[in-house]
Amino acid sequence: MTTADERTNLAGLDRAELAAVVAGLGEKPFRAKQLWHWIYHRGETDFANMTTLGGPLRAKLAEACAVRRPGVATEQTSTDRTRKWLLRFDDGNEAETVFIPEEDRGALCISSQVGCTLTCTFCHTGTQKLVRNLTAPEIVGQLMLARDSYGEWPSPKDGRLLSNIVMMGMGEPLFNYDNVAQALKIVMDPEGLAISKRRITLSTSGVVPEIHRCGAELGVNLAISLHAVRDDLRDVLVPINKKYPLKELVAALRAYPAANNARRITIEYVMLKGVNDSPAEAREMIRLLKGIPVKFNLIPFNVWPGAPYEMSPPHVIRRFSEILNDAGYSAPIRVPRGRDIMAACGQLKSASERARKGRATAMAAQVGGTA
């Protein structure tokens, strides 16, 4: 376990928190604005380089504060350029971040929890118990770390490779709403990291009470982990459906304040062989979502060790997509990325856990003589 730096980490603080730190150092409020610029626009981590701040203030800051990123346990880059980081936080807990590059842009997939509150049966992360919510600095830190990795400082206005953010990593972001909201407000601030709400998509499995709030307060794009169009099946695949069944979920989508024809809600649908991939289910999905501005993302299931499902055959997925297309919807089939580095949701994390367990069991055997 790394020994945590006791100094106040300024990376991930919002404007009010930064102003409080500056006031605590006995400095004038405008210093907080300068610090914001250096931390979030310039990506600077060394106070000595913050040349618009006087020498005495820089010395005071270096004494009491730091600008840190989450620790990196491993960084891997796939043959298809997908990059994945396993992050290790001060308390030793781990989560992952993945960057999926396209030609001249790309999406950074950010985690919001260590493990997950939920247990979706097709998802590897769902097999990992929730350890804890990530804090706002740990969420913002994922973007800042990725920018370091691609040298994207100061915050470029145009020509960014790290152009989009998807809250689709580990965890259910709406079960960590306050930290996620604080983090995204920092990320969207035009004088700092400056990523527009139109380039941020938050994916939820269906925490209905928070969906409207997310749209009203953050105004980001919404994605829904739908994966089934009947309650009996969705209760199994996405157990939160037992609490907020399809009727309530669909009503929340119909009322989502930040959706319109130009900003459609993304319906994520994992293609599971013989489970949810029939033409009848495609037609039922069209009926269910009629009148709501949506687009579909069909995800060929990514098999993981011990997974209880198989991926639907390619011709079945194509047929499913055609039915949605014929009804006037965009329904691309997602191309799996980074498989060679196990970039599928939550895979890397599990590997770390198992190793530690193995060690613990071995140690227990040594100590007690019984495994």
Q: Indicate which residues carry an active-site annotation.
A: 96, 345
For 24, residues 6+ apart whose C-beta sits below 8 A from its C-beta are none
Measured from the CB atom, the residue of 38 and 122 that comes closer to ligand SF4 is: 122
Q: How far is the CB of 125 from ligand SF4 (least distance, A)?
A: 4
Report yes or no: 35 and 43 within 8 Å, Cβ to Cβ.
no
Phi, psi (rounded to 5 degrees) for 162: -85, 70
**Does a cis peptide bond (omega within 30 degrees of 0) precede residue 300?**
no
Residue type, 119: T
Instruction: Write each residue from 196 to 235 as x if it is in contact with ligand SF4 (CB under 6 A), else as -, in one continuous string.
Output: ---------x-------------------x----------
Task: Choose between 34 and 117: whose C-beta lies nearer to ligand SF4.
Answer: 117
- SS3 call for 267: strand
Residues β-bridged to residue 299? 270
- Number of residues lying near ligand SF4 (CB under 6 A): 12
125 interacts with ligand SF4 by CB under 6 A: yes
Distance CA 83, CA 66 (A): 27
Answer yes or no whether residue 118 interacts with ligand SF4 by CB under 6 A.
yes
Tell me, residue by residue from 88 to 117, as one string, x for binding to ligand SF4 by CB under 6 A and - for no binding: ----------------------------x-
When the beta carbons of 155 and 205 are compared against ligand SF4, the nearer one is 205
Q: Does residue 45 contact residue 200 with C-beta atoms inside 8 Å? A: no
Q: Are 100 and 154 in contact (CB under 8 A)?
A: no
Both tokens of 215, joined, read 């749209």
Convert residues 170-189 into a mask of x (bound to ligand SF4 by CB under 6 A) and - (unbound). xxx-----------------
Contact between 193 and ligand SF4 by CB under 6 A: the answer reads: no
Contact residues for ligand SF4 (CB under 6 A)? 116, 118-120, 123, 125-126, 170-172, 205, 225
